[in-house]
């Protein structure tokens, strides 16, 4: 699509996302499908992230062609994911095999024959709360210039993210995790990362007994039968 046609496409994309937010269709899915058309890519995914959840796992995956749309999970500690969450703009990678450092994300991309990508964090008012990834499968692209990346940034930050916040806020059910204290949240987050009681105690400068009591209080508040179920709830955000 010529760059001159992008403003009209952006307007149509905005309209489709606004329409989706008023119906049962997800504005997350509508935005992804529109972005695929906007940049003429093959596949896209988006999902939510949090410092207390050690993984990025997409909640929506769409494709224009017959390519893999299976879900996946990668640690937010991976340099690619971490870089996206700290970047101020879209990240374009023309050759994933050459430019992506060794790690889970590179393994995933090369395994899916994803040769080029654009990745952008989806901003909340304060902290990044999501990631969108646009993929070109079995082909490299070299014509993703600064104007197009700026257009993607504009759509994601000025249009899509506010709609998602409003939509998710209107449809969200209260989570039992919201009843936890700040200390309990931190202890649960550390446990979700796989730390032992002793490691958590050292990390927070408290005793193992205090950690045990905080996790027990958290389990009672959310109705978890054990710590494994508690951390599973934290990872899923439910």
Mean pLDDT for each 10-residue chunk of the chain (238 residues)? Answer: 67 85 78 90 86 75 76 84 87 94 92 93 71 93 86 90 77 65 85 89 91 90 85 71
Give the count of beta carbons closer than 10 Å to the beta carbon of residue 91. 15
Q: Would you put residue 130 in left (φ > 0), alpha (ψ -120 to 50) or beta? A: beta
Question: pLDDT value at position 19?
Answer: 83
Q: What is the Cα Rg of the chain in Å?
A: 20
Give the separation between CA 85 and CA 157, rounded to whole angstroms: 13
Give the separation between CA 179 and CA 36, rounded to whole angstroms: 39
**Complete domains list, the chain, with CATH:** 3-171 (3.30.450.40), 176-236 (1.10.10.10)
Question: pLDDT value at position 128?
Answer: 60
Question: pLDDT value at position 4?
Answer: 60
Q: Write the CB contacts of 5 (distance below 8 Å, at least 6 apart in sequence).
A: none
């Amino acid at each position: 699509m010529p760059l001159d046609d992008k403003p009209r496409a952006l307007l149509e994309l905005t309209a489709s996302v606004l329409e989706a937010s008023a119906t049962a269709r997800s504005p997350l899915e509508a935005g992804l499908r529109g972005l695929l058309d906007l940049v003429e890519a093959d596949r896209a995914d988006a999902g939510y992230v949090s410092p207390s959840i050690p993984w990025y796992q997409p909640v929506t995956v769409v494709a224009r062609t017959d390519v893999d749309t299976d879900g996946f999970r990668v640690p937010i500690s991976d340099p690619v994911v971490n870089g996206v969450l700290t970047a101020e703009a879209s990240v374009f990678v023309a050759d994933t095999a050459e430019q992506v450092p060794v790690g889970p994300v590179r393994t995933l991309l090369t395994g899916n024959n994803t040769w080029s990508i654009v990745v952008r964090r989806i901003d909340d008012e304060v902290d990044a709360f999501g990631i969108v990834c646009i993929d070109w499968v079995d082909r490299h692209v070299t014509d993703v210039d600064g104007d197009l990346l700026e257009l993607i940034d504009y759509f994601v930050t000025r249009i899509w993210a506010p709609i998602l916040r409003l939509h998710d806020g209107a449809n969200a059910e209260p989570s039992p995790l919201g009843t936890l204290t700040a200390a309990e949240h931190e202890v649960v987050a550390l446990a979700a990362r796989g730390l032992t009681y002793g490691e958590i105690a050292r990390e927070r400068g408290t005793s193992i007994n205090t950690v045990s009591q905080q996790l027990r209080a958290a389990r009672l508040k959310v109705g978890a039968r054990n710590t494994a179920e508690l951390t599973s709830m934290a990872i899923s955000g439910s």
